[in-house]
């Protein structure tokens, strides 16, 4: 499948960008519904997203550049050529958390409430966006003989994008159900989002062939371990302290 969907005045519009935009749009609609349900209202969330979405893209790019510095140190202008690829979801998540912490402190809004409203939307957007990797023929795994393997450059490989996309969609459904039926403490939906995404990313990253590396360590796996331990510790501590909704 051609990665380019169409062109406008000579500018190529790629399916990857379209899918990311779709994920953001659908996620925003769901987050707005969740924010109303949680009593936050739509206006604060819209104000947050105005800052969080573009800055998260900056974070995704910065994260990738930092851990791929050898690719950019000889031509710093290449850092700005985002159309050539190079975004990392962990960088986007980290930046989104930082922006949300600052925003909620300035606006005196409960961070955990607005994080819970966004948690399901984030994982759904990630589920949709992963299909862009399939179209670009990137972020795939090593060779496999499994019947659901996909052909890349004449080799059948693990469709790691598919593993992560399916898991993320199931987590999205689980978070919506949990938030309406089982949540006891504000923030649990968001903390479960972080932990459950980190769990699958750790497993999938072990299959991928294009991992960002820190010496002999896969950066995404290291971040994913942290992304399971810290959220689950906070989850436990908040429950223990009876920080109820």
The 10s digit of each residue's pLDDT in 7-54 is 888 888 899 999 999 999 999 999 999 999 999 999 999 999 999 999
Q: What is the pLDDT of residue 244?
A: 58
pLDDT confidence tier of residue 86, bands split at 50, 70 and 90: confident
Q: Which two tokens stand for residue 144?
A: 């496999």
The 10s digit of each residue's pLDDT in 129-180 is 999 999 999 999 999 999 999 999 999 999 999 999 999 999 999 999 999 9
- Quick check: 117 and 45 in contact, CB under 8 A? yes
pLDDT confidence tier of residue 242, bands split at 50, 70 and 90: low
Q: What is the pLDDT of residue 23?
A: 96
Cβ count within 10 A of residue 133: 20
Q: What is the pLDDT of residue 245?
A: 58
Average per-residue pLDDT for the chain: 94
- What single-letter DSSP state applies at residue 215? T
Residue partners of 54: CB distance under 8 A and separation at least 6: none
pLDDT confidence tier of residue 106, bands split at 50, 70 and 90: very high
Q: What is the pLDDT of residue 210?
A: 92
Q: Is the dihedral of CA 220, 222, 223, 228 positive or negative?
A: positive
Q: What is the share, in percent, of the chain residues with pLDDT greater than 70? A: 98
Q: What is the pLDDT of residue 124?
A: 98
Mean pLDDT of 97-123: 97
**Nearest residue to 129 (alpha-carbon basis) of 12, 6, 20, 39:** 20
Rounded Cα–Cα distance for residues 194 and 142 (Å): 26
Q: Which two tokens stand for residue 140?
A: 């795939």
Q: What is the pLDDT of residue 84?
A: 75
- Quick check: 159 and 141 in contact, CB under 8 A? yes
Residue 233: pLDDT over 70: yes
- Which one is predicted more confidently, 243 or 134? 134
Mean pLDDT of 180-190: 94
């Amino acid at each position: 499948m051609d990665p380019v969907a169409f062109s406008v005045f000579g500018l190529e519009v790629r399916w990857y960008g379209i899918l990311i935009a779709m994920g953001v749009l659908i996620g925003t609609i769901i987050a707005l519904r969740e924010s109303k349900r949680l009593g936050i209202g739509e206006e604060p969330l819209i104000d947050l997203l105005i800052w969080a979405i573009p800055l998260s893209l900056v974070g995704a790019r910065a994260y990738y550049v930092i851990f791929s510095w050898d690719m950019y140190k000889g031509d710093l202008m290449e850092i700005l050529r985002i159309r050539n690829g190079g975004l990392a979801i962990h960088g986007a998540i980290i930046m989104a958390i930082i922006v949300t912490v600052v925003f909620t402190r300035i606006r005196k809004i409960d961070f955990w409430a607005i994080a819970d409203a966004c948690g399901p939307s984030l994982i759904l957007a990630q589920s949709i966006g992963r299909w862009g990797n399939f179209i670009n023929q990137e972020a795939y795994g090593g060779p496999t003989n499994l019947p659901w393997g996909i052909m890349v450059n004449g080799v059948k490989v693990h469709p790691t994008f598919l593993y992560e996309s399916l898991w993320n969609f199931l987590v999205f459904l689980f978070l919506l159900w949990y938030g309406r039926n089982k949540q006891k403490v504000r923030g649990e939906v968001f903390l479960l989002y972080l932990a459950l995404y980190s769990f699958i990313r750790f497993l999938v990253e072990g299959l991928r062939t294009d991992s960002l590396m820190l010496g002999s360590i896969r950066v995404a796996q290291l971040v994913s371990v942290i992304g399971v331990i810290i959220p689950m510790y906070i989850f436990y501590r908040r429950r223990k302290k009876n920080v109820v909704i």
